[in-house]
Structure 1
């Protein structure tokens, strides 16, 4: 068990199986020591726990939890790509997308769900640059999608 997985276990979490792609792409691709992880939805056992827009059907607190699930799915994709999570030298960039109503402006707080989990799991190596943007709709009517770029040691 990697140190990352031990830290997750202390949070009561385990790394799930990698989420199978819902279209024509790979969950993660490694190129020259850089891992590009495709956008991860908050799927749990193949299902979305919630659908809709943040600021309407989904509360910011629920969306935060969904982003945290996206973060766990990002970790699963990283593990699938590199094998040992301790090989991740740095989470460099996170991109967060929040399907939200036009008047909702709390996208950064929502994506903190993923960012904070990555920091807890990877320690200093989990501190990253980030974007958090609002969009009108996401695949499968998910409220949140998160991707990332990481460096392998």
Structure 2
């Protein structure tokens, strides 16, 4: 499963369509390449192109949060494609930061983040396994339920 030539086949098998990244809505760029590292800015969860609004533990359950994180992974794949021109340039996903818009009582941030992490492992195989932090926050831009950023190593 670690053969990079299979990345696009795995994307097709997963029913994922790669879309170009949206335009930033503030003063930042979607990605920065430095040496062999690629830094992606935070991606918020979206449904039908609009922010996926909600707060885990208040008006959204964990399963929905997992789906939102998976939706972010699909968007991130599009950004990685735009940044590299070829996903086979990704040597490894190194680090993921997952922010979950959640109530003070919510305790399943790590499970929500699995929606993102498991999707990257499905697509990149062992190269998709990464270090990760996941935690709750009081608010995310546009009221989105989840936001994820990552660092990848390039070939």
Q: Taking structure 2 as the reference length, what is the TM-score of the superposition? A: 0.93
CA distance in 2, matches of 1:84, 1:20: 20
| Residue number in structure 1 paired with 2:144 | 142
Alignment match, 1:41? 44
What is residue 7 of structure 1 aligned with on the other side?
10
Give the TM-score normalised by the residue count of structure 1. 0.94
1:115 corresponds in structure 2 to: 117
Alignment coverage as a number of residue pairs: 151
Structure 2, unpaired ranges of 5+: none
Q: CA deviation at 1:75?
A: 1.3
Unaligned runs of 5+ in 1: none
Contact 1:4/1:122 (<8 A) preserved: yes
Q: Cα deviation per residue 1:92-150 (whole Å; 9 max; x = unaligned)? A: 00000000000001000000000000000101100000000100000000000000000
Mapped partners of 1:65, 1:20: distance in 2: 23
1:19–1:46: 8 Å Cα contact kept in structure 2? Answer: no
Which aligned runs of 4 or more in structure 1 are off by greater than 2 angstroms? 43-46
What is the aligned counterpart of 2:68 among 66, 69, 77? 66
Q: Is the 8 A contact 1:19 1:43 kept in 2?
A: no
Deviates more, 1:137-146 or 1:22-31: 22-31
Q: C-alpha distance in 1, partners of 2:103/2:27? A: 29
Q: How does 1:86-125 map to 2 (within 5 A)?
A: 86-125=88-127
Paired with 2:47 and 2:61, the residues of 1 have a C-alpha distance of 19
RMSD (CA atoms): 1.2
